[in-house]
Amino acid sequence: MLKRVLFIEHDHVSEAGPIWAQFKKRGYEIVRFLIVDEAHFHTPNVKVEWPNFFDFEVIVVMGAPWGAYEDERIGNWLAPEIENLRAAHNAGIPILGICFGGQLMARILGGTVSRSPHAELGWYEIQSDDEAFIPSGPWFQYHWDRFTVPPQGIEIARTQLCPQAFTFGRTLGLQFHPEIDPNVLELWLAMDGGCAEVEDEGIDVNDLRAQTMKNEAGANQRGYDLVDRFLDRIAIAPIQRK
């Protein structure tokens, strides 16, 4: 039987590097669904025709440069995405949420999302309650917002700033970016304002590139392992509805 995984890409620079590679290795056909194309980057409140989420065995919800709480700014697509993801989660379709995707799943499942007092940018060690599932890293961080874990969710990992991973039934929500590699980083930095927003946080872009190159092999393996553990552990967990 053909297995298909839907990657919801909120912007035009949402490539998934090692995450794509491991889903393919596990026998999944990757279907990419782009919401805001490059032409609408500065006017992101577009209307889209959503695919049927029930046509897929797994859904991966990628990052975004907008807030998972910005209903007025991106509500034309955010509101239906919330409803579609809630229905998929409640039906037992495994969902992996990354950064914005993790924040969005936290919101859907009863947590909150808000602006952080400061950004997390670069490579961070995290505190994990289950190293065999979510190791301490280093993992790549690239966010200005943070979520709280839903009341019925289980927090797996955190930094001093915010939670980094939680589970809720067949959903795994992450704050960090397991999909990062040097190519993905270059796409983000090439976005309008990408380098400037990083440098505004006191981060040297060239140092960030060098660290990403240095960490690539280890980070890729952690990404592969995370996909395996998600599929082998979370995707077959008991259904927990919201």
- What does pTM read for this prediction? 0.97
Domains of the chain are 3-234 (3.40.50.880)
pLDDT in tens, the chain (242 residues): 789 999 999 999 999 999 999 999 999 999 999 999 999 999 999 999 999 999 999 999 999 999 999 999 999 999 999 999 999 999 999 999 999 999 999 999 999 999 999 999 999 999 999 999 999 999 999 999 999 999 999 999 999 999 999 999 999 999 999 999 999 999 998 876 678 888 888 889 999 999 999 999 999 999 999 999 999 999 999 999 99
pLDDT digits (tens, 9 = 90+) for 35-45: 999 999 999 99
pLDDT of residue 2: 80
Question: What pLDDT sits at residue 156?
Answer: 98
Q: What is the pLDDT of residues 49-81, one digit of tens each?
A: 999 999 999 999 999 999 999 999 999 999 999
- Annotated catalytic residues are 99, 177, 179
Is residue 69 within 8 Å of residue 113, measured between CB atoms?
Answer: yes
